[in-house]
Amino acid sequence: MNHFLDLADSSREQIVELLALADRLQTRPEPQALAGKILGLLFFNPSLRTLASMQAAMAKLGGTSFVVTAGQGTWQFETRRGAVMNGAPAEHVREGVPVLSHYCDAVGIRAFASGTDLDTDLSESAFRDMAGLVSKPVINLESAINHPCQALADWKTLDDLKVPRKAKFVLSWANHPRALPLAVPAATVHMAAMRGMDVVVLRPEGFALPGAIMRKAMEAAAANGGTVRETADRDDALNGAHIVYAKEWGSTTHYGNAEADANLRAKLADWCVRDTWFSTAAADCKLMHCLPVRRNVAVADEVLDGKRSVVQREAYNRMVVQAAVLHRLLSTPQH
Ligand code: CP
């Protein structure tokens, strides 16, 4: 493994091996495995879990890390190709990113979607441009349309909970005051399909996942014995569900149009996951969410504070699986 950019770059068997390494490091820690190694973390967007869990994972393996928050204590970065840099940004990523990579052994980058043009965001061009500037291993800490570290942690959470491979996995749209990126829903639907689950994407009209995201998930499902479908019928989706994975995302019919998106979501306040959503679900159905979550907008207190919620385990597993990713990318094989 040279980079960690997308679960789709690996086979199901390789992901299962990576999760086995995560389990091994959990039970038999290797506190010197990455002694002397340095991880550089470059954030263009805020984070709590990703930032803290990457640093913690690196420290647990004996390595160290530094964090650069773009524009905060650094020069402001320009990212556009061909930009005439006579405004506020003083440094282009074409210089800044390779410079940072000189100081470390691997680079993690978080750079969200622009949220203005769907095709551009689906192409991942901004993230791929930056990753292409680095000659060291690159870890995707959330790009326009992917969040592989979250997806890997969620796969481990499903395994920890002994959720059967063929269980019904419902990725449900949830309410939020404004449009959020497609990275987590895209990564989640693909992860559950690649795990071989029966995946239902539940969303109101106007929020269908783009064809490219659904096709990728359907291909993963076909290769691994799963299924993927999409519906706006909540009763149909939740009936018999083993997992409800709540996630907020922006309208795809009005992508980049904040006013039209807001008009649509103004009528969708009942898309807040409540206990009543689980009345026809499997008895032990769990609630997943990547966090952060808006309480009583996306998910009600009664669910987040109840026995169904596994959000803390998901967050904990971020550190566990990222340790495996770092180990795989940076450890020296023992002969
Ligand atoms: N789930 C997740 O990536 O959290 P942060 O945005 O806080 O890193």
Nearest CA, atom 1, ligand 1? 290
Query: How do the domains of the chain map onto residue ranges?
Result: 7-146+318-330, 162-309
Residues of the chain with pLDDT under 50: none
Distance CA 145, CA 113 (A): 7
Give distance in angstroms: CA of 46 to centre of ligand 1: 8
Asked whether the beta carbons of 74 and 40 are under 8 A apart, the reply is no
- pTM value surpassing 0.75: yes
* Residue 201, strand partner residues: 171, 230
Distance of CA 228 to the CA centre of its chain: 19
Question: How many C-alpha atoms does 82 have within 13 Å on its Cβ side?
Answer: 0
Distance CA 250, CA 180 (A): 5
- Residue pLDDT, tens place only, 299-310: 999 999 999 999
- Backbone angle region of 119, left / alpha / beta, with phi > 0 → left and psi within -120 to 50 → alpha: alpha
Q: What is the CATH number of domain 162-309?
A: 3.40.50.1370
pLDDT (0 to 100) of residue 332: 80
**Pair of tokens at residue 232:** 């706006």
- Among the atoms of ligand 1, which is closest to the Cα of residue 291? 1
Q: Determine the residue type at 42.
A: L
Residue to probe by mutation, ligand 1, list 44, 47, 139, 176, most atoms within 8 Å of CB: 47
- Among the atoms of ligand 1, which is closest to the Cα of residue 45? 6
pLDDT (0 to 100) of residue 335: 55
Same fold, 7-146+318-330 and 162-309: yes
**Pair of tokens at residue 17:** 């091996």
**Pair of tokens at residue 239:** 């009936």
- Residue pLDDT, tens place only, 110-151: 999 999 999 999 999 999 999 999 999 999 999 999 999 999
Q: What is the CATH number of domain 7-146+318-330?
A: 3.40.50.1370
What are the φ/ψ torsions at residue 174 (nearest 5 degrees)? -135, 155
